[in-house]
């Protein structure tokens, strides 16, 4: 019996003694019943305490964090953050960028958005916040349960590995065989000019284990890029998010597809005609990519891993975009020459 119950019991006995023998007997029976209830249903006291705490949870009376960096949110705060980050990531991806739309040159900034890793990281911060705000109460638990149902997923949850330049040796990855998973990963990092250290820490998901699941998904995102070959340009990110939504069902990945409205007409046609069908087909039929222990697959042949997971590579988007730019430049030169 815990201390609060003992103190309550002593109070009841004292009051019952003052009232008389009958009341004293009744109090003893009530205490005995409460003791049996607490022993048989130990979670009941915890549930009551959680309910009381929830009633007093507000922006001015926030409970303590459950893990380092955790920020508990009220339901209103969570909804506001989901709406705000969603709107900003869709309509204002140029925040905190020198020379943004306020300085003019929106076409130049949009070109920079397609080529600058820093701008992509700014947008990634907003998308990360959107992901955390929309993952609870159901979707992140579904993904956690998918890991618990798989032997490799359970091992990942038990060991909780992290992906960064401190846990992965980039020079060692460059020395791996040409068609290995690790070599494909590091070559994709070099080609796109990104680093595994750019993923922000999860802080708005209350359950510590689920917070790790979201962190794991976030840090594995670049492996998904390397596996599919999709670049970090907006068109490639939208295509990969469509694949991730079909595979993980995380709402953020589905909401991110709304960015297709910001693509150029030719890019939108290509997305709906080529990459959207590829994403749905491969995302639905492939195994849960959250259960891949990437750190143990680095020396494996990347084509062999794709076959095991059931993932086909889509058409090379960067090569397609390069050919289109060369064709436009050639036509422009021909017009300038009077043809």
Mean pLDDT of 185-209: 90
Bridge partners, residue 61, by sequence: 58
Give the number of C-alpha atoms closer than 13 A to the C-alpha of residue 94, restricted to the C-beta side.
Answer: 18
Domain ranges in the chain?
3-55, 136-326
Which residue shows structure tokens 């970090």?
232
Residue 222 assigned ligand-binding role? yes
Residue 295 assigned ligand-binding role? no
Share of the chain above pLDDT 90, in %: 47
Distance of CA 124 to the CA centre of its chain: 10
Closest CA to 168 of 274, 265, 278, 296: 296
Residue 225 assigned ligand-binding role? yes
> What's the pLDDT at 286?
96
Closest CA to 290 of 239, 226, 219, 232: 219
CB distance 224 to 189 below 8 Å: no
Q: Please give the residue that has the higher pLDDT: either 318 or 116.
A: 318
What confidence category does residue 25 fall into, taking pLDDT thresholds of 50, 70 and 90? very low
Does 221 have pLDDT greater than 80?
A: yes
> What's the pLDDT at 102?
36
Mean pLDDT of 178-204: 91
- Alpha carbon distances (Å) from 303 to 51, 218, 220, 311: 51, 23, 18, 9
What confidence category does residue 4 fall into, taking pLDDT thresholds of 50, 70 and 90? very low
pLDDT tens-digit series, residues 106-153? 344 344 444 444 545 555 566 777 778 788 878 999 999 999 999 999
Phi-psi region of 96 (alpha: psi -120 to 50; beta: other; left: phi over 0): left
Mean pLDDT of 75-94: 65
Q: Please give the residue that has the higher pLDDT: either 57 or 99.
A: 57
Peptide bond into 23 cis (omega under 30): no
- Distance (Å, rounded) from C-alpha 153 to C-alpha 146? 8
The alpha helices in the chain, defined as continuous H runs, are 3-19, 21-40, 42-55, 75-91, 106-115, 117-135, 139-148, 151-159, 170-174, 181-192, 208-228, 234-248, 251-255, 265-270, 276-285, 302-309, 317-336
Residue 56 assigned ligand-binding role? no
CB distance 82 to 134 below 8 Å: yes
Mean pLDDT of 169-195: 94
Does 38 have pLDDT greater than 80?
A: no
| Mean pLDDT score across all residues of the chain | 78
Q: In a 3-state reduction of DSSP, which class is residue 262?
A: helix
**Structure token digits, residue 223:** 């492996």
Does 21 have pLDDT greater than 80?
A: no
Mean pLDDT of 68-87: 75
Bridge partners, residue 180, by sequence: 301
SS (H, E, C) 106-153: HHHHHHHHHHCHHHHHHHHHHHHHHHHHHHCCCHHHHHHHHHHCCHHH
What confidence category does residue 86 fall into, taking pLDDT thresholds of 50, 70 and 90? low
């Amino acid at each position: 019996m815990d201390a609060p119950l003992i103190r309550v019991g002593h109070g009841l006995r004292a009051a019952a003694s003052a009232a008389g023998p009958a009341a004293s007997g009744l109090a003893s029976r009530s205490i005995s019943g409460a003791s049996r209830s607490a022993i048989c249903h130990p979670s009941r006291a915890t549930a009551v305490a959680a309910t009381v705490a929830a009633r007093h949870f507000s922006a001015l009376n926030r409970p303590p964090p459950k893990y380092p960096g955790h920020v508990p949110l009220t339901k209103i705060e969570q909804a506001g953050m989901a709406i705000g980050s969603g709107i900003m990531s869709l309509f204002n991806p140029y925040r905190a960028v020198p020379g943004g739309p306020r300085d003019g040159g929106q076409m130049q900034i949009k070109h920079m958005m397609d080529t600058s890793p820093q701008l992509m990281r700014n947008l990634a911060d907003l998308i990360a916040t959107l992901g955390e705000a929309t993952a609870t109460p159901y979707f992140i638990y579904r993904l956690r349960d998918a890991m618990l149902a798989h032997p490799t997923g359970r091992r990942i949850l038990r060991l909780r590995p992290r992906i960064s330049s401190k846990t992965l040796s980039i020079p060692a990855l460059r020395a791996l065989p040409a068609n290995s998973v690790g070599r494909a990963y590091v070559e994709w990092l070099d080609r796109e000019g990104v680093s595994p250290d750019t993923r922000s820490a999860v802080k708005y998901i209350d359950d510590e284990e689920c917070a790790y699941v979201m962190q794991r998904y976030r840090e594995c995102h670049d492996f998904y890029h390397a596996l599919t070959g999709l670049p970090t340009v907006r068109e490639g990110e939208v295509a990969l998010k469509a694949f991730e939504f079909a595979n993980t069902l995380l709402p953020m990945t589905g909401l991110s597809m709304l960015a297709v409205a910001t693509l150029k007409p030719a890019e939108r046609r290509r997305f709906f005609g080529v990459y959207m069908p590829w994403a749905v087909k491969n995302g639905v039929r492939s195994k849960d990519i959250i259960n891949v222990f990437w750190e143990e697959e680095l020396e494996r042949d990347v084509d062999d891993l794709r076959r095991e997971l059931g993932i086909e590579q889509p058409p090379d988007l960067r090569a397609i975009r390069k050919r289109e730019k060369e064709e436009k430049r050639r036509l422009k030169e021909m017009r300038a020459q009077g043809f």
